[in-house]
Amino acid sequence: MTARIPPSVPLTSRHTRLRPPPVSFLHHIYERTRCDDVPVLWNADYETPERFVRSMYADNDAQFAIEDVRSGRLVGLISAYELDLHHGTAYVTLALLPGYRLRVWPLEATILFANYLFVRFNLRKLCGRSVQRDFVQLRSGADHFFDLEGVLHDHAMIDGETQDLYLAAVDRERWLRVGKPLLDRIRAPAV
């Protein structure tokens, strides 16, 4: 889905920029998923790069590549899917390339993206799913940045072993109280 972005929705922070993902980057993400460097967050096992790229455009309601503003390197992909305008909800997924997962600055992109979704689509709530091995990195944000809404025990199969699936969410009220001040702090200075 391509839409005009209102000028009041910033897509650049001090360290990151959100931009439409080039097809070449989606091919790179596909290759990284084949090497298990990027977790497969999608429902099907796409056997060809072309099918994978088509699915990325077809199955996501909003999607951006995450760019390091200092180097211009694309370091991740952030997407919204299952956008439900009637209920005002969407699911968000984030995939960072190896070497960027434990760094804090790429997470500025999640703040930009949450703001984009709340403003652009007037959403009430953003939801996310995370398997146990990845949730460990996010656990410190529970109860401050987001609510942990549930755990589905032994729900996901990762590398032949079951893992819990964590369900998290941030609503508009929490976003205005916690996220919006963070957005104001990370925004790139006006030129």
Do 94 and 78 touch, CB atoms closer than 8 A?
yes
Could you tell me if residue 6 is inside a domain?
Answer: no
**94 lies in a domain?**
yes
Confidence at residue 190, expressed as pLDDT on a 0 to 100 scale: 58
Q: Residue 86: phi, psi to the nearest 5?
A: -65, -50
Q: How far is Cα 72 from Cα 23, in angstroms, rounded to an integer?
A: 16
* Domain CATH code at residue 65: 3.40.630.30
Domain that holds residue 30: 16-185
**Which alpha helices (DSSP H) does 35-186 contain, by range?**
49-58, 108-120, 132-135, 172-174, 180-186
- Is residue 65 assigned to a domain? yes
Number of domain units in the chain = 1
* pLDDT higher than threshold 70 for residue 7: no
Over 70: is that where the pLDDT of 46 sits?
no
pLDDT of residue 54: 80
Highest mean pLDDT among 33-42, 54-63, 141-150, 164-173: 164-173
Residue 7 covered by a domain: no
Residue 89 to residue 171: CA distance in whole angstroms: 9
**Average pLDDT for residues 27-38, to the nearest whole number?**
76
User: Residue 187 pLDDT > 70, yes or no?
Assistant: yes
Asked, for residue 99, whether it belongs to a domain, the answer is yes
pLDDT in tens, 53-107: 787 877 789 999 999 999 999 999 999 999 999 999 999 988 888 887 767 788 8
Q: Which pLDDT score is estimated for 157? A: 82
Residue 143 placed within a domain:
yes
Q: Does residue 88 lie within any of the structural domains?
A: yes
In this prediction, residue 2 has a pLDDT band, given cuts at 50, 70 and 90, of very low
Given this model, what pLDDT does residue 1 score?
46
Q: Give the Cβ contact number of residue 81 at 10 Å.
A: 16
CA-to-CA separations, 60 to 91, 103, 120, 161, in angstroms, rounded: 10, 25, 15, 28
Query: In whole numbers, what is the pLDDT of the chain averaged over residues?
Result: 84
pLDDT tier, 45 (very low <50, low <70, confident <90, very high otherwise): low
In a domain? residue 8: no
Q: What is the DSSP letter of 142?
A: B
pLDDT exceeds 60 at position 143:
yes
Q: Which residues pair with 79 in a beta bridge?
A: 63, 93
Q: Where are the beta strands (DSSP E) in 85-184?
A: 89-96, 125-131, 147-158, 161-171
